[in-house]
Structure 1
């Protein structure tokens, strides 16, 4: 995974140098290593207590409903892990490391520029078991983010303390995270008068269904990363969470750029035992894929029935 190693500690008014990072050493930003930081802002309208560091740690605690903290001038680009490569001037997602010791509902809204600025992503937070047990959660941005407009974390939830936050990092690819199939950008279903549709999965979640012969779904400009001169990054494998209840011939081709573009992965003639019985199928790519490319899932099958139901996919490095 390509890591955005922007420093959250750069003082307001200082010169940003595409983020002070030693090439080859990814940096994770501690959210509150010092109070002496002119770029830091916070608010806790719930009571008179400020969001503040927990004694003896660099963790932010005392987070309640409608509280927020953020950093002015935060840079959304980064220096590459390999020094010979050009800088990457954007990010496409964020990972936040949190601890939560109760079952109160909680969400993090990540916003750009201010606490009421553009919403980049919302991250649901569930219990990690205790306020000292940390877990890293990810949110994807709908579009590339650039510039140095500041980053803000707005917290929503029930009563009491919601969570502690230890660190965050921006990322420049969407690898190693599950992408819900229903988040596709476009679809085509030429063998049916009905479009490819989205339906509920018993027990929770959504799936793509009604995928007939020669239909497809597209994920526009999927960010594969791959900015290493040694080729060590980028998409190399795919995991697909699928359900298929009949033994008729069916296949999924994973293609680049168009529904007839190069095939980088395929799965054929599989059955899981039911249209809601999901199994994860891993497949290697035929090549390492880098950069931003349109990603297609093309479905082929016999007859007029549904070829397969798709829950999610995950591309790995």
Structure 2
């Protein structure tokens, strides 16, 4: 596969992964239902993807890119990427070993196990799981499927943008939650500045925000309510130049705003989201992003594997 991460690569890859992923729906909602001054609001429901997040798009792209070694695949993950790689490996009938940190949500750990992968839990953060997976990689000869800093991963995640453009071509703005940056990197590569792409991160894990201010990837805090999905130590090096060109704005939200967004999505729409999945919506709910009059806004609701279900009480 070409290492060029652009619209052409995303379009060429899509037919390869399309038989294995869901083309997730877009829901038009009334901003007034949430007390928001937005006339046109579209939610791309990527939380309905296989394994509960957008991640299978990149996982299948990686697994289908070439001949797989007998040792299968290896991945490090806060949970969602691991579940996606485990799911893709199960579908394609190849072995998978997944490394996750101790902060991974029990629901995500259960998903990984249910897909038949060999699961290794250890360390406190994603970076610990990544280091352990790299050691295993040296010993085993397995194929690494990186959660966000690999061309195939970004090209696969960019298919979210491809679908969204076909489903609602008239949007002005798209809000996307950021962890390591594979998702927003792929989407920004797809749109190429045609749509205003807004990055949303927790204040407790401002990885891209800090990198954009510094002009390069830098180590950032990695905590908060969404730490199992939106808190790598550093933004991906492959996505960063794409973000510099294609991400129009970076905003930060509080953990309380994320909780409020989870609650609102549940109470109004009966959508069960994890903190990372609700983060982009939190930017609107907390007014960290305020659309202009008449602005057509879309939000990516990207994950449904919550650490707990307190917001449904």
TM-score tier, shorter chain, comes to under 0.3
Question: Which structure would you say has the larger Rg?
Answer: 1
Higher RCO (Cα < 8 Å, 6 or more apart): 2
TM-score normalised per structure 2:
0.24
TM-score normalised per structure 1:
0.23
